[in-house]
Structure 1
Amino acid sequence: MTSDSESSAVALQRYIAFVEAVLRPQLKQTLAHRDALAQEVHEYQELSELLQELTHSKLQSLHTLLDIGERFHVRAKVDDTSLVTVDIGLNFHVEMTVPEAQIFVQKHLFHLTEKRNKWQEKAREVADHVNLVLASIQQLAALQ
C-alpha cells in the first residue's frame, strides 16, 4: 500500500467516525427537539379549539375526557367553564378566563411555532452536513 492510499484510508475512517459519532447523534437529538415542540404545538392547537368551542357554545358545564398522562383518559364533568387552568410552561399552571386563555394560547402558539421552525432549520443544516460528508466519503472511496 502506498502512502497516499494509506492517508486516504485514514481520512475515510475519520469521516466515517465523524458521521457516526457526531453528526448522526446530533441529527437525532435535533429531530427529537423538533418533534417534542411539534407535539406541544399540537396540544396547544387542541386547547385553542376547545376554548373557541367554549366561547361559541356558552356552555355552563362540560362533559369531557381528561388526559391524565401516558394517553390514559377519564371522564370528567366541569361544572364551571368560565375559568380554565393553563399550563404556561415549566410546570406552572395559571387560572385564566376563557378570553385570557385564548390570548395566551395564540401568543404561545406563535412562539412555539417559531421555535419549532428554528429546530427544523437546524435539522436541515445537520442533514446537509451528513450528506456532504457522505459524498466526501464516496469520493475518497472512489479514489482508492
Structure 2
Amino acid sequence: MMADREKIEKYEHFLNEVLKEDLRCVLEERDKLYEDIASHSQLKQTINCMNESPVEEGLCTQVDLGSNFYVQALVPDVSHIFINVGLGFHVELTLEEALTFIDKKLGILNAKLSESTKKSAKIKGQIKFVCEALGELQGLGKCKRA
C-alpha cells in the first residue's frame, strides 16, 4: 500500500511539475510563432500595397514611439526598407528583396510552428497516459485533462 502511495506521488509530481510545465513552455513558444507569422504577413501585405500603388511624393504614416504613443511621419523614399533579420540586426532591402526575405522567413516560421504543434500533441498524449496510470493506481478511472 505504501509503495502505491509513493508511485502515485511520483506520477503526480511528474505530471504537475514536468509535463504541464513543458506543455506551458511549448504553448508559449507556439503563441510567439503565431505573433511572428502575423507581423511578417502584415509587413508582406503592406509591401504589396506599396508596390500596387506607387508613391511619388512619399508616404505619410504614423509611427509608434512606444507605449502606444504615435507621431506622424513622412517617408520621402519608399524604395528601400529596413527589416529586422534577428539578433538585433536590421538590413536595408529593396521592396522585392524584402518580399523574398519575408517569404523565406514565413516558410521557416511555419515549419517551426508545425514542429511546435507536434511537440504539444506529444506532451498532451504523455499527460493523458500519466493520468490514466494515476487513475488505475487510485482506482478512479480517469483524471482531469490538461
* TM-score, with length taken from structure 1: 0.89
2:23 maps to 27
Pairing of 1:93-132 with structure 2 (within 5 A): 93-132=90-129
Q: Measured at CA, do residues 118 and 14 of structure 1 come closer, stay the same or move farther in structure 2, by a change above 3 Å? A: same
Which amino acid is the alignment partner of residue 8 of structure 1?
D
Q: Distance in 2 between matches of 1:111 and 1:59?
A: 31
Which amino acid is the alignment partner of residue 41 of structure 1?
I
Which amino acid is the alignment partner of residue 43 of structure 1?
S
The farther-off stretch of 73-82 and 61-70 is: 61-70
1:57 maps to 53
Structure 1 residue 72: deviation in Å? 4.6
Structure 1 residue 76: deviation in Å? 2.1
Structure 1 residue 73: deviation in Å? 3.7
Unpaired runs of at least 5, structure 2: 141-146
Q: Distance in 2 between matches of 1:129 and 1:67?
A: 44
2:37 maps to 41
Which amino acid is the alignment partner of residue 101 of structure 2?
F
Unpaired runs of at least 5, structure 1: none
Instruction: Give the CA RMSD over aligned residues.
Output: 1.5
Percentage identity across paired residues of the two chains: 28
Structure 1 residue 52: deviation in Å? 0.2
Answer 1 or 2: which has greater helix percent: 1
Specify the SS of the correspondent of 1:35.
Answer: helix
1:91 to 84, 88, 91: 88
Q: Distance in 2 between matches of 1:15 and 1:114?
A: 33
Pairing of 1:74-89 with structure 2 (within 5 A): 74-89=71-86
Structure 1 residue 17: deviation in Å? 0.5
Deviations 1:4-34 (A, max 9, x none): x221111111100111111111111111111
Q: Measured at CA, do residues 29 and 55 of structure 1 come closer, stay the same or move farther in structure 2, by a change above 3 Å? A: same
* TM-score, with length taken from structure 2: 0.88
- Asked which structure has the greater RCO (Cα within 8 Å, sep 6+), the reply is 1
Q: How many residues align structurally?
A: 139
1:7 maps to 3
Q: Distance in 1 between matches of 2:123 and 2:87?
A: 28
